[in-house]
Amino acid sequence: MPSKKLFLDITSPRRTSPQVILPEPSFDIDQARVSLKVTENGSFNVYSTSQEYKFTPEGLVRKAGKDPLEDVQSSQLSYKISERDVRIIRTLGRGASSVVYKAFLARSGKFVAIKRINCFEREKRHQMMNDIRALCNVTEPSLVQFIGAYHAPENGQIALVLEYMNGGSLGDILKKKGKIAEDALSVATAQVLQGLSYLHRYKHMVHRDIKPANILMDLSGVAKIADFGISAFVDNTLAVCHTFTGTVTYMSPERINSQPYSFPADIWSLGLTLIECVTGRYPYDASGGPLQLMIQVVEEPVPLPAEGSVSPDFRSFVAACMQKDPYKRPTAEGLLSHPFILKHARRRPDMRSFMRCMEDPDSIMEEMAVDVTGRFYRAMSAGTEGVTSTSSIYSEDSVYTNEGMVTHGRTAIVQRLQEMAQLHAAFGSGTHQADIIDSLPVQDGGLLVHVRGHFRVGGSGPLALGPQGAGPPSVFCEAFLIRRDSLGRPLIRNQLFRLL
């Protein structure tokens, strides 16, 4: 039985001061049903709501079983991914028990976010399982995609591999811009509403932490919901939650008042988030501390933007979201037909231009280095047919040098690479794996990239799917000079290869 908690009741008949009351013993169904078992072979088996999740160094397996909260019989799912499949680029963030990295997943040619979590800490393990249960086997495009997970045995951590959003969060955009224009915010809100509609209707899930920092963007202007760590699952769409979890900043009045709450709590948080984005400031006065903030949220009128300071459609939208009575708030699905959403859907703004403020030159350079070299090595590992695709990364004035033999021009370079691929094919298949990639910006916007890796004939590696070959590896180093053409495409202008 969990320890008793103190709750704040501001709705007592006496309005002079809030009263602290002790509720009846409550039961958190999520936390109570998450347990851990370490097997003899070193894998981690986590049991959550009658389902077993097995984490190994080679990936994640969710065993078949009935999920009582979602009331469905789930089939077995496997996510095959390991530490060998990813290349860590840099650290994105660090907490007390977790670290988030930007990494490159070679087999897909995409960047990913890797969240490493200390699974021995109960609270972190519970939050991790919320993320997995929310995103596992989900293709809803408005939620950050779950790519897989694996156990890192050397430090007892579980690594979650998630979609990488290169535009930061709405919170990050606010720091850069100060305010967010209504037209761009409307487009992002429509995508968030689609994600919330999916969570509420199909996952029976209350996110409980909708705020600017948890709405992620990419540089094309796509918005997605992230961070399901304190989410709550309910057993059907009419059920309610009773636990007091999370910070009060974006919490709805019914949650602050320790009343039962459900999906409308997310709608309140969304409305509050949008007001902050449009006005550039959090609408309540939080300077007096959490207690005074809670009193404001429950007792004071909703701090809607002044008439005339925003469009009537926006004011109407957030007013609907922030009804004090949760039963009067529209659903996420219903809000998709609101004029604030429909108006800008018909006259969609240029989201790429809007997101240009979030472009990071250093990040763009590191992504260009990994992208171009990754495309090259995947093409080389795919044999003669794959080599043909390398014509898109060279120009007519490109120079390729391999062990002292110099080749000039796109056509001649591709022909030279095809001859090498044919030679490799005579011994089986040849694969390249980049182990270390370093880059350095040069004058005129160019990029110098140095790669150290190994080459294997007769097998395959992480950059080309297939079984590990028996051929001995040869260590190589390779340098690339990359510059963009007049259309902005990154091309290899000079390349030097040698075996070590």
| DSSP H stretches of helix in 116-206 | 122-135, 170-177, 182-201
**How many other CB atoms are there within 10 angstroms of residue 404's CB atom?**
7
What order of strands is seen across the sheet that includes strand 473-484?
405-408, 394-402, 490-499, 473-484, 447-457, 430-441
- The terminus-to-terminus CA distance of the chain in angstroms comes to 63
Element (H, E) at 152: strand 146-152
Lookup: tokens for 128 = 């991790």
Choose among 132, 151, 135, 152: nearest CA to 143.
135
CA–CA distance from 44 to each of 106, 128, 405 (Å)?
Answer: 26, 13, 51
CB of 264 closer than 8 Å to CB of 327: yes
Neighbouring residues of 456: CB distance < 8 A, sequence distance ≥ 6: 430, 431, 433, 469, 471, 472, 473, 474
Q: Which residue numbers belong to the known binding site?
A: 115
Please list the residues that pair with 74 across neighbouring strands.
Answer: 65
Cα 492 to chain centroid distance, Å, stands at 30
CA–CA dist 381, 417 (Å, integer): 11
Catalytic residue among 131, 209, 227, 266: 209
CA–CA dist 415, 420 (Å, integer): 9
Q: Which residue numbers belong to the known binding site for ATP?
A: 115
CA–CA dist 182, 190 (Å, integer): 12
**How many other CB atoms are there within 10 angstroms of residue 434's CB atom?**
23
Asked if 209 is an active-site residue, the reply is yes
The residues annotated as belonging to the active site are 209
